[in-house]
């Protein structure tokens, strides 16, 4: 790996760690009665105080059965609401800051107090992290991998809830973003990042690939080198859980180097290690 590449990955790793640190700090401050809007604002303020000026998307917070996107029909329903947290309720914080030109997009699942069902969902996400990495290394088509994740979820007894995201994506490419003094956003998404994604989509369309990893035909291609924010999302009768983190895909011939998770020291990975 070249030095430039190592430095670049370090940049992404740092912002991803920053994002997870934010999620953990905010999660620790959640109390019964806090609303989704307040939780979203806590994330924004925490990151602003640490130099974040631009976003891939503004922070989201989902509480209770909204973690499983129960009854979601239109994208506006993703935005934080006045729903209040209660004891035993699951929650998800989803945030995508841009820091020094590097983007991260992370998802943090937690629960206010013990909830055995939620614990089970979190534990069952581990198999998905392994499956995705294995099949990306095998250079299977993204659409096929998507379907295999789907099948595993069904076998586990769960519903695929990433299907509710725009285009039903389980992942999307992320990239470096130019730092601007003024970084506006539309519908919660940073315009700089959207521009990057749209550019990729345009190129990809010509070359037969897409920056959106979906169940549709346009994802019927082998993994494209680059950085992918992968977010498998399980739902089970009003309880949802996900993780989201960066998967690095390269054009190396060595399988180990052809794909790897950018960072293995993340809250959900640590939790699985502790459970063993």
Partner 1 sequence: MSNGAGGAGGTDTGLAGARERWVRTGGIELCVAELGDPARPTVLLVHGYPDSKEVWSQVAGRLADRFHVVLYDVRGHGRSTAPVPLRGGFTLEKLTDDFLAVADAVSPDRPVHLVGHDWGSVQSWEFVTVARTEGRIASFTSMSGPSLDHLGHWIKQRAARPTPRRAGQLLGQGAKSWYIYLLHTPVLPELAWRGPLGKRWPKILQRIEKIPGGTYPTSSLPQDAAHGAWLYRDNVRARLRRPRTDAYAHAPVQLITPTGDAFLSERLYDDLEQWAPHLVRRTLPAKHWVPRTRPDQLASWIGDFVMAHEDGGLPDRGAAPSGPYAERFGGQLVLVTGAAGGIGRATAFAFAEAGARIVAVDRDAEGAARTAELARLIGAPDAWAEPADVGDGQAMERLAEKVATEYGIVDVLVNNAGIGLSGAFLDTTAEDWKKVLDVNLWGVIHGCRLFGKQMAERGQGGHIVNIASAAAYQPSKALPAYSTSKAAVLMLSECLRAELAGQGIGVSAICPGFVNTNITSTAHFTGVSVEEEERRRKKTSRLYGLRNYPPEKVADAVLRAVVRNQAVVPVTPEARGARLLSRFAPGALRALARVEPPL
By CB under 8 A, name the binding residues for partner 1.
88, 115-117, 120, 154-157, 236-237
Residue 268 neighbours by CB under 8 Å, 6+ apart? 109, 122, 125, 243
| Minimum distance from residue 46 beta carbon to partner 1 (Å) | 31
- Minimum distance from residue 275 beta carbon to partner 1 (Å): 16
Lateral strand order in the sheet of 171-174: 212-213, 171-174, 226-230, 245-249, 259-261
Question: For residues 69 and 236, which CB has a smaller minimum distance to partner 1 in the complex?
Answer: 236
Residues in contact with 71: Cβ distance below 8 Å, sequence separation at least 6, in sequence order: 77
CA distances, 18 to each of 79, 97, 103, 113, 218 (Å): 22, 9, 11, 25, 33
Which of 31/155 has CB closer to partner 1?
Answer: 155
Q: For residue 152, what is the DSSP state? A: H
Find, among 111, 149, 123, 130, the residue nearest to 232 by Cα: 149
- Find the shortest distance in angstroms from Cβ 159 to partner 1: 8
> 151 vs 195, which CB is nearer to partner 1?
151
Smallest gap from Cβ 230 to partner 1, in A, equals 22
Using the minimum distance from each CB to partner 1, give the nearer residue, 157 or 199.
157
Q: Tell me how far, at minimum, the Cβ of 223 lies from partner 1, in Å.
A: 22
Residue closer to partner 1 by CB (options 117, 269) is 117
Nearer to partner 1, 156 or 191 (CB): 156
- Closest contact distance (angstroms) between CB of 90 and partner 1 is 12
CB 133 within 8 A of CB 249: no
Residue 134 tokens read as 């294995």
Q: How far apart are CA 12 and CA 266, in angstroms?
A: 14
Report the run of H or E that residue 233 belongs to, with start and end. strand 233-236
């Amino acid at each position: 790996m070249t030095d430039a590449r190592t430095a670049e990955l370090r940049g992404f790793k740092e912002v991803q760690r920053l994002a997870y640190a934010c999620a953990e700090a905010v999660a620790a401050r959640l109390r019964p009665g806090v609303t989704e809007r307040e939780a979203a604002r806590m994330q924004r303020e925490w990151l602003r105080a640490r130099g974040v000026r631009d976003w891939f998307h503004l922070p989201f917070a989902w509480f209770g059965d909204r973690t499983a996107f129960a009854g979601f029909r239109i994208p506006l329903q993703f935005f934080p609401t006045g729903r209040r947290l209660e004891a035993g309720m699951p929650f998800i914080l989803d945030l995508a800051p841009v820091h020094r030109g590097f983007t991260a997009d992370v998802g943090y699942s937690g629960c206010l107090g013990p909830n055995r069902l939620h614990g089970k969902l979190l534990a069952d996400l581990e198999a998905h992290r392994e499956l995705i990495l294995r099949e990306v290394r095998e250079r299977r088509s993204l659409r096929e991998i998507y379907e295999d994740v789907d099948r595993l979820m069904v076998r586990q007894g769960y519903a695929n809830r990433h299907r509710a995201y725009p285009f039903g994506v389980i992942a999307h490419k992320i990239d470096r973003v130019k730092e601007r003094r003024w970084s506006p956003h539309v519908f919660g998404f940073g315009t700089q990042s959207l521009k990057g994604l749209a550019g990729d989509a345009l190129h990809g369309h010509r070359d037969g690939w897409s920056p959106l990893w979906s169940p549709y035909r346009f994802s019927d291609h082998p993994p494209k080198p680059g950085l992918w924010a992968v977010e498998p999302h399980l739902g089970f009768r009003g309880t949802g859980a996900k993780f989201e983190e960066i998967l690095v895909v390269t054009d190396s011939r060595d399988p180990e180097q052809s794909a790897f998770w950018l960072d293995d020291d993340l809250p959900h990975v640590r939790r699985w290690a502790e459970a063993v």
